[in-house]
Amino acid sequence: MKIPVIVTPLVFLAVFMDIHAQQVWFEQDFAKQPLGDSWKLVNGLWDIRGGVLSISTHEYDQLLVSRTYVYDTSPYSVEVRMRGNRAGLFFAVDDTTSKLFSHMVRFDDKSILTGYFNGAGEYVATNMFDIPRAPSEWTLLRVDVDPGSGRYEVFVDGTSVGVDDRLVFSSGYIGMEGSEGISEFTSVRVTGERNPTPPPRPARHSAVRFQHVTFVRSGKGDKDRSTVLPKAVKERLREHLKEVKALHEKDLAAGYGNVFLPDALSRKYPNTAKAWAWQYVFPSSKLSVDPRSGKIGRHHISDTAIQTAVKTSVFKAGIPKHASVHTLRYYPGFRIMPSYI
């Protein structure tokens, strides 16, 4: 009669452990696998001999990036076995051709530096953690990224050395980093709690993130782009979104609240069309019938309304030049991007 009392906790424990088991998303042992096409050289002269990937340089922040893209749909860990007083790793690298918009964590003798590269290519250091010894011997560096909380924790040989709460980017490629001296690597592994499936792509122009750099998914030409979000509009935008959310909740209470989803997502995720995260940032003041689905919802404001508002603002500001919405596309690219982005 005592058997069920003993077995049941073990069954629940087994189920719990299975749910939270880490899955390997990407793994490479340089002693067993050649680099091949799975890695992309960004800068520096990298070499692999005897199962050890290495770089000898007098420069800083040389990057060899993996072509494997890591999505931030759940927390994940990047673990690299390395040695070198200024060796490190990159994560959330936006593109395989540069260091722009990426995070870097590297050793600096008896310290760990954490930070990110901004749109101007400058490294913005956000933290520094002391460690017991310089990594002159083989050391395991691990970074646990938690996109939900906007932070990441750094471990050296399994021991936590600090938490950086300035996670600016969370999705992207991973890479090896070498600076001033010899940096060596034997293996890299990325693990997560769930399969690394890409998230549903947000509707056009719907991605808003309250940081210095914001992203637009599926913009013109179905391309993803990055741009700047001025500090001056952040609080006004927060208040605006509160009003939009209240309007959306009112629509839901009245039995509406649907929004058009791209790429047949409404069939795959039936309830997503009413989710707050998918609503337009600038919705129309009136409800309308979606001709594609026949459902009543709230579309975004018309393009004409934005064009009229810009022209009115140009006139009130007394600007004696032709200006339109299209003018703004070229303005921020290389001229107003501040150094702290």
Of residues 56, 100, 93, 97, the one with CA closest to residue 78: 93
Taking 70 as the pLDDT cut, the residues of the chain under it are 1-21, 195-228, 263-271, 328-341
Q: Which H or E run includes 313? A: helix 303-316
pLDDT score at 16: 36
The pLDDT tens digits for 69-126 are 988 778 999 999 999 999 999 999 988 888 888 999 999 989 999 999 887 778 889 9
> Where do the CATH 2.60.120.560 domains begin and end in the chain?
3-192
Coil/strand/helix, residue 45: coil
Count Cα neighbours of 327 within 13 Å in the Cβ-side half-sphere: 8
Residue 151: which residues within 8 A CB-CB, separation 6 or more?
A: 163, 164, 165, 166, 167
Task: Write the DSSP symbol of residue 37.
Answer: G
Buried b (16+ CB within 10 A) or exposed e, 269-294: eeeebbeeebbbeebeeeeeeeeeee
Superfamily of segment(s) 3-192: Exo-inulinase; domain 1 (2.60.120.560)
Q: Answer whether 13's CB lies under 8 Å from 179's CB.
A: no
User: What's the pLDDT at 196?
Assistant: 63
Residue-level pLDDT at 179:
92
pLDDT, position 62: 93
Q: Which residue has the tokens 């208040």?
A: 239
Tokens 């599926």 sit on residue: 218
Supply the DSSP string of 65-112, one letter for each residue. EEEEEE--SS-EEEEEEEE-TT-EEEEEES-TT--SSEEEEEE-SSEE
| pLDDT on residue 301 | 86
**Torsion sign, CA atoms 272, 273, 275, 280:** positive
pLDDT of residue 201: 47
3-state secondary structure of 190: strand
pLDDT computed for residue 324 by the predictor = 80
For the stretch 115-120, contacts whose Cβ atoms lie closer than 8 Å and that sit 24 or more positions apart, written own/partner, are 116/166, 116/168, 116/169, 118/212, 118/213, 118/337, 118/339, 118/340, 118/341, 119/213, 119/226, 119/228, 119/337, 119/341, 120/337, 120/339, 120/341
| Per-residue confidence (pLDDT) for residue 154, from 0 to 100 | 97
